[in-house]
């Protein structure tokens, strides 16, 4: 049947009426009158779909309306997409409404590819069965689908060989067989797929060597065959793949040398070939890969010196050459890699001094040169003002600890197992973000500086195996993980926490400042609020204030800030047709929300407390709370309160109107959810984090929202997020009762609240974690929340929990952000409140995170995120 076929004329044949309905999607009316019915093919196709039993028995329905099926005008199947819409599926097919969400979650039982008669579907262009619980093997007949452009069978349980007939699919542009249990060799026929741009065979059990024919795939931009058991050399023909952007051959058993032809891959952005048994030198041609951003050659047996040409990779952000046999000195040219954030040279045979050019790496955040033979640190190391993680352990460092003391951003410092001597410098006390310090196995002497206890975040301190003397400072009791063994210290090793003096005395943590702030800032606010509350709730009189308030003769007060027109209860009644249901845009625990257009044209949102509830003291309190909170807080990601109205029959709050409603509703509507792309979602999560960080850390006393949920995150017309609904929020006075009965939304409440009933900021942190996960998953994480800490999550890949309705992100920047959101969310969901990060920390991570991420999305599991075993610095508490 020709693709641009001539007819839909079978519409007029009664026998084909059923099939006629099929045409609804793509009817070209100008063709309706042409002749020649070709319904027989579509009959065969219907039979093939029926016989597969993938959709059960559908004899009464038309096969083109089945979930995930799209037909052409003639009723012939062109798309079978039950999996996630993968990236680059190009011209997106518009599904008819009944098949709006064609995802495998609707297929409950395992399906076999073999049960479909593929030869009956000759017009198939796209086959997407990603994460569809497929079992069995890939049948040879798949090769008959000559029009196929996209084949996604990733994340199933497919076994057996990749059929060599795959080479017949010459129209194929995307081939993804990753995360299955396919074995045997990569068929050399793959070289015939010259239109292929994306090849992903990640995480299978493929063996044999990489066929040199792969070099014929000159249109490839992504190739990932990591996580197999491929052996033999990297074929030099790989140099012909000049369009390649991403090359991932990591975690195989490839041996031999890295071919110098690799230098021809001028467009390459990321190269991961770590975790193999490659030997010999790093080819100097590597210097030609000037577009490279991520380079990972770690865990091989490379045994040259680091070629000076490496300095030409000026765009490099991460470089991992660790766990090899690289020798010689570190070349000065390393200082030319000024974009570098992550540099890992651990476990090699590098000698001598670190070149002073290292001081030029102003962006560097992680530097790991542990387990080498380095004997000197240049003072220029002190210029690395962004450094957070420094490990120089297991080297031959000699002399005093000097330049490190000025690295004020350091969180992790490991200088253990060296030959350092002299005192522990007092200046270390100024590295105020330090969380983990290991100076063990050196020759340090003198006393432990008592000021170390000023390091508020310090949790792990190891000073063992030195020559330290004097008394053990008792205030070290705040350090969770303390090792002072094998020194000449006197006194008791303090037990963690139990015999610690009260926090503020021991830790000099600006208690006075807090008190002062409370007095200076919050006192006037409280006075003002008390005044306001009194004025508004008790006294039905207009106030002469900045606030324009107005008393109407029936006793109502409407106060609308910065509103130029006059507004009264009756205007509101008019604008909402007396609170007609048509204007209602949502109902919450405390009331209903209406959209109202004021006489001036301005649109506002009204939250009207339910009539009866308005008389309940609890709701009256909630109303006051909200007014009180919102009059004070001013943040770009917190909803603005325009004012409020009180009336003898009802009361309501007047807000900035949020055109796109709540995040909750947005994520539940398929069409909306698709509009909410990855970058928008990341921005939503960041906005919530910034707002909460403001409430917790910039407000004095801190404000705990207590009811963060996707219902309370509202979106404006630009899909920017705003935190709303402060009905249950409260100021967290350090001395007043934290206890309360009503707070939070089921599914978002921190587990400890159930038994402690104590509200802390960490409750919000937990709820934030839930909302953040929900935002990237597109649905409430549900049971995943409780299973995060169990080993069963070991097998769940991040890519599998991301919202199925969006194509997986490929842009490394976007991937990096998604991973960061997931990492932060998971850290916030820790069952122990103490182990959750503060919102300040979370928002700092979001702000400082500027660049891309090195691990391909397809390789990240939730467990890795949980353990924070990622390429970047770990999340510390």
Ligand X SMILES: *[C@@H]1O[C@H](CO)[C@@H](O)[C@H](O)[C@H]1NC(C)=O
The reply, when asked if residue 3 is annotated as ligand binding, is no
Question: How near is the Cβ of 347 to ligand X at its closest, in Å?
Answer: 7
Q: How do beta strands 641-646 and 713-715 pair?
A: unpaired
How many other CB atoms are found less than 10 A from the CB of residue 211?
17
The one catalytic residue in 707, 725, 764, 803 is 707
Q: What are 173's strand-pairing partners?
A: none
Which stretch, 24-32, 106-114, 238-246, 484-492, contacts ligand X (CB under 6 A)?
24-32
303 binds ligand X (CB under 6 A): yes
Question: How near is the Cβ of 225 to ligand X at its closest, in Å?
Answer: 15
204 binds ligand X (CB under 6 A): no
Question: How near is the Cβ of 134 to ligand X at its closest, in Å?
Answer: 18
How many other CB atoms are found less than 10 A from the CB of residue 736?
10
255 binds ligand X (CB under 6 A): yes
Q: Of residues 78, 300, 344, 876, which one binds ligand X by CB under 6 A?
A: 344
Distance CA 590, CA 618 (A): 10
Which stretch, 115-123, 356-364, 516-524, 808-816, contacts ligand X (CB under 6 A)?
115-123
Q: Of residues 39, 179, 318, 346, which one binds ligand X by CB under 6 A?
A: 346
Question: How near is the Cβ of 621 to ligand X at its closest, in Å?
Answer: 19
| Farthest-apart Cα atoms in the chain, separation | 102
Which stretch, 112-120, 656-664, 746-754, 859-867, contacts ligand X (CB under 6 A)?
112-120
Q: Specify whether the backbone of 467 is left (phi greater than 0), alpha (psi in -120 to 50) or beta.
A: alpha
Residue number, 164 or 279, with CB nearest to ligand X: 279
- x/- contact string, 831-850, with ligand X (CB under 6 A)? --------------------
At 365, list the tokens.
């955040």
171 binds ligand X (CB under 6 A): yes
Whether the link from the prior residue into 321 is cis, omega within 30° of 0, is: no
Q: Of residues 167, 263, 283, 322, which one binds ligand X by CB under 6 A?
A: 322
Which stretch, 25-33, 585-593, 603-611, 638-646, contacts ligand X (CB under 6 A)?
25-33
Q: What are phi and psi of 86, to 5 degrees?
A: -80, 165
DSSP for residue 696: I
Question: How near is the Cβ of 355 to ligand X at its closest, in Å?
Answer: 20
Residue number, 36 or 790, with CB nearest to ligand X: 36
Whether the link from the prior residue into 136 is cis, omega within 30° of 0, is: no
Which stretch, 96-104, 285-293, 617-625, 734-742, contacts ligand X (CB under 6 A)?
734-742
Interactions with ligand X, residue window 414-473 (CB under 6 A) = 421-422, 445-446
Question: How near is the Cβ of 758 to ligand X at its closest, in Å?
Answer: 5
Q: How do beta strands 641-646 and 651-656 pair?
A: antiparallel
Question: How near is the Cβ of 854 to ligand X at its closest, in Å?
Answer: 10
305 binds ligand X (CB under 6 A): no
Residue number, 170 or 600, with CB nearest to ligand X: 170
- Work out the angle between the directed axes of helices 678-693 and 839-848 (0-180°, nearest 10): 140
**Helices H / strands E in the chain, number of each:** 17, 46
Interactions with ligand X, residue window 484-543 (CB under 6 A) = none
Distance CA 194, CA 515 (A): 71
Q: Of residues 256, 308, 403, 586, which one binds ligand X by CB under 6 A?
A: 256
Distance CA 28, CA 451 (A): 80
Question: How near is the Cβ of 425 to ligand X at its closest, in Å?
Answer: 13
At 35, list the tokens.
């002749």
Contact between 458 and 435 (Cβ < 8 Å): yes
Q: Of residues 1, 24, 28, 509, which one binds ligand X by CB under 6 A?
A: 28
Residue number, 298 or 852, with CB nearest to ligand X: 298
Judged on CB neighbours under 10 Å (0-12, 13-18, 19+), 583 is middle
Residue number, 33 or 495, with CB nearest to ligand X: 33
170 binds ligand X (CB under 6 A): yes
Q: Of residues 195, 291, 402, 450, which one binds ligand X by CB under 6 A?
A: 195
Q: Of residues 53, 133, 231, 243, which one binds ligand X by CB under 6 A?
A: 231
Residue number, 443 or 531, with CB nearest to ligand X: 443
Q: CA 82 from chain center: how many Å?
A: 25
Q: CA 65 from chain center: how many Å?
A: 35
Which stretch, 117-125, 629-637, 722-730, 805-813, contacts ligand X (CB under 6 A)?
117-125
* Residue 735 known to be catalytic: no
Question: How near is the Cβ of 148 to ligand X at its closest, in Å?
Answer: 9
Q: Of residues 61, 88, 117, 291, which one binds ligand X by CB under 6 A?
A: 117
Contacts of 502 (CB under 8 A, 6+ apart): none
Interactions with ligand X, residue window 122-161 (CB under 6 A) = 146-147
Which stretch, 29-37, 153-161, 480-488, 852-860, contacts ligand X (CB under 6 A)?
29-37
How many other CB atoms are found less than 10 A from the CB of residue 755?
7
Question: How near is the Cβ of 191 to ligand X at its closest, in Å?
Answer: 12
Contacts of 176 (CB under 8 A, 6+ apart): 86, 130, 151, 152, 153, 154, 198, 199, 200
Q: Of residues 71, 77, 217, 366, which one binds ligand X by CB under 6 A?
A: 366
At 576, list the tokens.
């909402």
Q: Of residues 39, 76, 78, 120, which one binds ligand X by CB under 6 A?
A: 120
Which stretch, 402-410, 558-566, 732-740, 805-813, contacts ligand X (CB under 6 A)?
732-740
164 binds ligand X (CB under 6 A): no
Helix, strand or coil, per DSSP, at residue 222: strand
For 616-622, the CB contacts below 8 A with 24+ separation are 618/742, 619/590, 620/537, 622/590, 622/727, 622/728
Query: C-alpha distances in angstroms, 219 versus 173, 195, 245, 525?
Result: 9, 6, 11, 65
Distance CA 129, CA 107 (A): 11
Question: How near is the Cβ of 367 to ligand X at its closest, in Å?
Answer: 8
Interactions with ligand X, residue window 651-710 (CB under 6 A) = none
Residue number, 254 or 638, with CB nearest to ligand X: 254
101 binds ligand X (CB under 6 A): no
Query: C-alpha distances in angstroms, 606 versus 507, 565, 593, 651?
Result: 47, 17, 5, 10
Question: How near is the Cβ of 582 to ligand X at its closest, in Å?
Answer: 38
Residue number, 434 or 806, with CB nearest to ligand X: 434
Contacts of 28 (CB under 8 A, 6+ apart): 8, 73
Interactions with ligand X, residue window 735-794 (CB under 6 A) = 737-739, 758, 760
Residue number, 346 or 745, with CB nearest to ligand X: 346
Q: Shortest CA distance to 775 belongs to which of 663, 675, 688?
A: 663
Residue number of the CB closest to ligand X reads 146
Judged on CB neighbours under 10 Å (0-12, 13-18, 19+), 156 is buried
Helix, strand or coil, per DSSP, at residue 330: coil
Q: What are 351's strand-pairing partners?
A: 329, 373
632 binds ligand X (CB under 6 A): no
Residues 223, 102, 858, CA angle at the centre, nearest 5°? 25
Residue number, 119 or 597, with CB nearest to ligand X: 119
Binding interface with ligand X (CB under 6 A)? 4, 28-31, 44, 117, 119-120, 146-147, 170-171, 183-184, 194-195, 207-208, 231-232, 255-256, 279-280, 298, 303, 322-323, 344, 346, 366, 368, 389, 391, 421-422, 445-446, 737-739, 758, 760
List, as residue ranges, the binding site: 607
List, as residue ranges, the binding site for ATP: 607
Q: What amino acid positions are annotated as catalytic residues?
A: 707
């Amino acid at each position: 049947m020709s693709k641009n076929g001539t007819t839909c004329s079978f519409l007029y044949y009664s026998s084909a009426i059923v099939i006629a309905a099929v045409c609804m999607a793509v009817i070209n009316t100008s063709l309706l009158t042409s002749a020649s019915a070709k319904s027989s093919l579509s009959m065969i196709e219907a039979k093939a779909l029926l016989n597969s039993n993938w959709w059960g028995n559908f004899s009464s329905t038309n096969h083109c309306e089945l979930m995930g099926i799209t037909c052409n005008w003639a009723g012939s199947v062109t798309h079978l997409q039950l999996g996630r819409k993968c990236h680059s599926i190009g011209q997106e097919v518009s599904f008819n409404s009944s098949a709006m969400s064609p995802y495998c979650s609707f297929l409950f039982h395992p399906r076999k590819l073999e049960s479909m008669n593929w030869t009956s579907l000759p017009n198939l262009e796209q086959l997407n069965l990603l994460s569809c619980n497929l079992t069995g093997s890939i049948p040879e007949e798949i090769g008959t689908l000559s029009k196929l452009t996209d084949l996604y069978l990733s994340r199933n349980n497919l076994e057996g060989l990749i059929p060599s007939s795959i080479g017949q699919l010459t129209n194929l542009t995307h081939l993804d067989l990753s995360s299955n249990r396919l074995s045997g060799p990569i068929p050399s026929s793959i070289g015939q797929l010259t239109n292929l741009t994306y090849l992903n065979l990640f995480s299978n059990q493929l063996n044999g060597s990489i066929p040199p024919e792969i070099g014929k795939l000159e249109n490839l931009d992504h190739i990932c065959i990591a996580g197999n058991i491929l052996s033999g050399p990297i074929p030099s023909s790989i140099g012909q793949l000049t369009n390649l952007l991403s090359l991932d051959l990591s975690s195989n058993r490839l041996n031999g040398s890295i071919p110098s032809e690799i230098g021809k891959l001028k467009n390459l952005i990321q190269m991961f070939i770590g975790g193999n048994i490659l030997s010999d030198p790093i080819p100097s041609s590597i210097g030609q890969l000037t577009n490279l951003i991520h380079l990972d050659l770690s865990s091989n047996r490379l045994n040259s010196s680091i070629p000076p040409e490496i300095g030409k990779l000026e765009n490099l952000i991460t470089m991992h050459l660790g766990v090899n046999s690289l020798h010689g000195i570190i070349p000065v040219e390393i200082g030319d890699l000024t974009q570098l954030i992550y540099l890992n040279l651990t476990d090699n045979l590098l000698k001598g001094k670190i070149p002073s050019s290292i001081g030029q790496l102003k962006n560097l955040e992680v530097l790991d040169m542990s387990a080498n033979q380095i004997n000197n640190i240049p003072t220029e190391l002190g210029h690395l003002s962004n450094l957070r993680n420094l490990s120089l352990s297991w080297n031959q460092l000699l002399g005093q600890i000097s330049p490190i003391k000025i690295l004020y951003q350091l969180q992790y410092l490991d200088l253990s197992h060296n030959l350092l001597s002299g005192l522990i410098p007092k200046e270390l006390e100024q590295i105020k973000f330090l969380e983990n310090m290991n100076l063990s196995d050196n020759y340090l002497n003198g006393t432990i500086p008592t000021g170390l206890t000023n390091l508020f975040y310090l949790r792990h301190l190891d000073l063992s195996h030195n020559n330290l003397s004097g008394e053990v400072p008792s205030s070290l009791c705040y350090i969770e993980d303390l090792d002072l063994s094998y020194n000449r210290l006197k006194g008791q090793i303090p037990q963690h926490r139990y015999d610690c003096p009260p926090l503020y005395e021991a830790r000099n943590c600006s208690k006075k400042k807090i008190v002062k702030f409370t007095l200076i800032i919050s006192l006037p606010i409280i006075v003002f609020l008390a005044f306001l509350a009194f004025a508004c709730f008790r006294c039905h009189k207009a106030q002469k204030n900045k606030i324009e308030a107005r008393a109407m003769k029936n006793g109502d007060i409407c106060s609308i800030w910065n509103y130029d027109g006059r507004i009264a209860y009756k205007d509101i009644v008019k604008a909402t047709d007396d609170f007609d249901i048509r204007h209602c845009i949502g109902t919450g625990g405390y009331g209903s929300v209406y959209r109202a257009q004021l006489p001036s044209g301005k649109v506002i949102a009204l939250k009207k407390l339910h009539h009866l509830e308005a008389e309940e003291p609890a709701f009256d309190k909630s109303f006051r709370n909200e007014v009180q909170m919102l009059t004070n807080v001013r943040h770009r990601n917190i909803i603005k309160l325009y004012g409020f109205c009180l009336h003898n029959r009802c009361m309501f709050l007047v807000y900035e109107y949020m055109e796109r409603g709540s995040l909750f509703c947005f994520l539940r509507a398929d069409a909306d959810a698709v509009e909410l792309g990855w970058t928008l979602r990341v921005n939503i999560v960041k906005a919530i984090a910034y707002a909460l960080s403001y409430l917790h850390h910039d407000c004095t006393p801190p404000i705990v929202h207590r009811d963060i949920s996707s219902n309370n995150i509202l979106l404006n017309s630009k899909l920017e997020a705003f935190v709303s609904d402060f009905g249950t929020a409260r100021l967290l006075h350090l001395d007043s009762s934290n206890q309360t009965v009503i707070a939070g939304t089921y599914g978002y409440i921190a587990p400890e609240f159930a038994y402690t009933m104590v509200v802390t900021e960490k409750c919000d942190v937990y709820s934030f974690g839930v909302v953040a996960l929900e935002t990237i998953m597109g649905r409430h994480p549900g049971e995943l929340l409780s299973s995060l800490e169990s080993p069963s999550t070991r097998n769940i890949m991040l890519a599998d929990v991301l919202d199925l309705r969006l194509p997986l992100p490929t842009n490394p920047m976007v991937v990096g952000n998604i991973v960061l959101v997931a990492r932060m969310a998971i850290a916030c969901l820790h069952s122990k409140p103490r182990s959750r990060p503060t919102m300040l920390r979370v928002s700092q991570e979001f702000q400082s995170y500027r660049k891309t991420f090195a691990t391909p999305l397809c390789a990240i599991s939730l467990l890795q995120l949980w353990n924070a075993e990622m390429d970047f610095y770990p999340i510390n508490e």
